């Protein structure tokens, strides 16, 4: 029925062909992805992304009960888009392992995941961070530990004179369960040089995640969009992720992260519109045909925008958070005090006409409805 409507519509023959490929579960090319960004109507993108979402996960919208720990914002890097590090923020902190373990011990029994991500501290090596993971695991053995971006792992491994594989194995042996997707930013060396020139290369990020997958450590993937990149760069970024997923199958979810222009060196760059955010979710869902889950990180975009994103291919809203992250609130995010209870998330999803599914950190359903 949908195919017939598209066949009879007044859209261009090229866009029509791409749309029919998507409906037929045929992979689109990079050039076709760029054309969707440039020429497809927003309503068509929503329709196509929603069909892909239904094909991949049905009507579930996933969430989990999680909390963030941010060990420090003292960073060796000074990325121009960052509002979080001590270079830009009016505050700085450096939590001790004992303080972080105490936070974990005080968590309620309903929390199932701790997400540990921070700045790249110049004085901490991989043994320090492995000890943190080990002590968190000892304090809460059933808690899933998702920790450390590829950027952090590259620095801590090199500082300790270990290969990426040796470093990841050390962290896994200490109790690490998965990696977040941060630090990917945009996979274009020219743009990376302009916005985060000192930070890890595209090749290093890909290598670390591919190595993690080979060690049976699942990971997420991100993109930082809406700054000085073009549609071609977004598609190239997703294409590298799609190729890696073809090789390993190790990505759980893809999370588009919107550039926010408050309190950083790129405040002169105007943020993209909400419509562009929704179009980006839709093209992401269409293009990444082998990554099962598309996440809208609600503390970044706000609850209302997250609700709208569910009509553009999104099937995951992250978790309860419990006001435990500052990374996006410092950049002027949509939600300055990010915290939701499980019941609030459930009602949020039900109001959108979808089925709430509480998940564990690798998308096994704990409860639904």
Tallying the residues shown for the chain, one arrives at 369
Report the half-sphere exposure of 53 (CA within 13 A, side-chain side). 27
Per-residue pLDDT of the chain in tens (369 residues, 90 and over written 9): 788 778 767 789 999 999 999 999 999 999 999 999 999 999 999 999 999 999 999 999 999 998 899 999 899 888 888 877 655 556 788 999 999 999 999 987 889 999 999 999 999 999 999 999 999 999 999 999 999 999 999 999 999 999 999 999 999 999 999 999 999 999 999 999 999 987 889 999 999 999 999 999 999 999 999 999 999 999 999 999 999 999 999 999 999 999 998 888 899 999 999 999 999 999 999 999 999 999 998 788 888 898 999 999 999 998 876 644 444 444 444 444 556 778 888 888 999 999 999 999 999 999 998
Task: Compute the distance between CA of residue 301 and CA of residue 313 in angstroms, rounded to an integer.
Answer: 16
Query: What residues contact residue 139 under an 8 Å CB cut-off, 6+ apart?
Result: 101, 104, 105
β-pairing verdict for 219-225 and 144-147: unpaired
CA angle 238, 244, 247 (to 5 degrees): 145
Kindly state the tokens that stand for 139: 């304090």
Helices 30-39 + 231-248 axis angle, to 10: 140
Domains of the chain in sequence order: 2-52 (no CATH), 58-368 (3.20.20.70)
3-state secondary structure the chain: CHHHHHHHCCCCHHHHHHHHHHHCCCCCCHHHHHHHHHHCCHHHHHHHHHHHHHHHHCCEEEEECEEEECCECCCCCCCCCCCCCCCCCCCCCECCHHHHHHHHHCCCCCCCEEEECCCCCCCCCHHHHHHHHHHHHHHCCCCEEEECCHHHHHHHHHHCCCCHHHHHHHHHHHCCCEECCCCCCCCCHHHHHHHHCCCCCHHHHHHHHHHHHHCCCCEEEEEEECCCCCHHHHHHHHHHHHHHHHHHCCEEEEEEEECCCCCCCCCCCCCCCHHHHHHHHHHHHHHCCCCCEEECCHHHHCHHHHHHHHHHCCCEEEECCCCCCCCCHHHCCCCCCCCCCHHHHHHHHHHCCCEEEEECCCCCEEEEC
Which among 56, 91, 96, 49 has a CA at the least distance from the CA of 74?
91
The b-or-e profile of 72-88 (16+ CB within 10 A means b, else e) is bbbbebebbbbbbbbbb
Cβ neighbours of 108 (radius 10 Å)? 9
Judged by phi (left if over 0) then psi (alpha if -120 to 50, else beta), residue 332 lies in left
CB of 145 closer than 8 Å to CB of 136: yes
Which among 143, 128, 9 has a CA at the least distance from the CA of 71?
128
Please give the torsion angle defined by the CA atoms of residues 283, 148, 326 and 114, in that order, rounded to the nearest 10 degrees: 100
Which among 354, 285, 367 has a CA at the least distance from the CA of 53?
285
Note the pLDDT of residue 263.
83
pTM (two decimals): 0.93
Helices 13-23 + 42-57 axis angle, to 10: 10
């Amino acid at each position: 029925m949908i195919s017939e409507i598209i066949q009879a519509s007044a859209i261009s023959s090229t866009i029509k062909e791409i749309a029919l490929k998507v409906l037929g579960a045929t992979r689109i090319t990079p050039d076709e992805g760029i054309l969707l960004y440039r020429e497809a109507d927003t309503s068509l993108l929503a329709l196509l992304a929603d069909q892909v979402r239904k094909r991949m996960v049905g009507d579930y919208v996933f969430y989990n009960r999680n909390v963030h720990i941010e060990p420090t914002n003292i960073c060796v890097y000074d990325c121009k888009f960052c509002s979080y590090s001590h270079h830009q923020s009016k505050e700085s902190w450096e939590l001790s392992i004992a303080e972080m373990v105490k936070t974990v011990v005080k968590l309620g029994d309903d929390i199932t995941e701790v997400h540990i991500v921070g700045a790249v501290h110049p004085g901490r090596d991989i043994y320090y961070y492995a000890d943190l993971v080990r002590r968190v695991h000892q304090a809460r053995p059933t808690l899933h530990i998702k920790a450390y971006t590829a950027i952090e792992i590259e620095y801590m491994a090199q500082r300790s004179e270990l290969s990426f594989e040796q470093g990841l194995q050390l962290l896994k042996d200490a109790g690490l369960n998965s990696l977040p997707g941060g630090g990917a930013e945009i996979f274009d060396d020219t743009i990376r040089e302009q916005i985060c020139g000192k930070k890890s290369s595209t090749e290093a990020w890909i290598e670390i995640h591919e190595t993690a997958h080979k060690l049976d450590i699942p990971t997420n993937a991100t993109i930082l969009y809406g700054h000085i990149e073009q549609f071609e760069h977004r598609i190239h970024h997703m294409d590298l992720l799609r190729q890696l997923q073809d090789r390993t199958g190790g990505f759980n979810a893809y999370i588009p992260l919107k550039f926010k222009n408050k309190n950083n060196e790129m405040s002169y760059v105007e943020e993209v519109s909400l419509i562009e955010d929704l179009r980006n979710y839709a093209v992401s869902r269409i293009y990444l045909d082998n990554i099962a889950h598309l996440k809208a990180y609600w503390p970044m975009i706000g609850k209302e925008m997250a609700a709208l994103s569910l009509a553009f291919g999104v099937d995951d809203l992250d978790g309860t958070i419990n006001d435990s992250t500052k990374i996006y609130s410092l950049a002027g995010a949509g939600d300055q005090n990010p915290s939701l209870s499980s019941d609030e998330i459930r009602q949020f999803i039900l109001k959108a006409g979808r089925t709430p599914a509480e998940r564990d950190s690798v998308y096994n359903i704990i409860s639904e409805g």
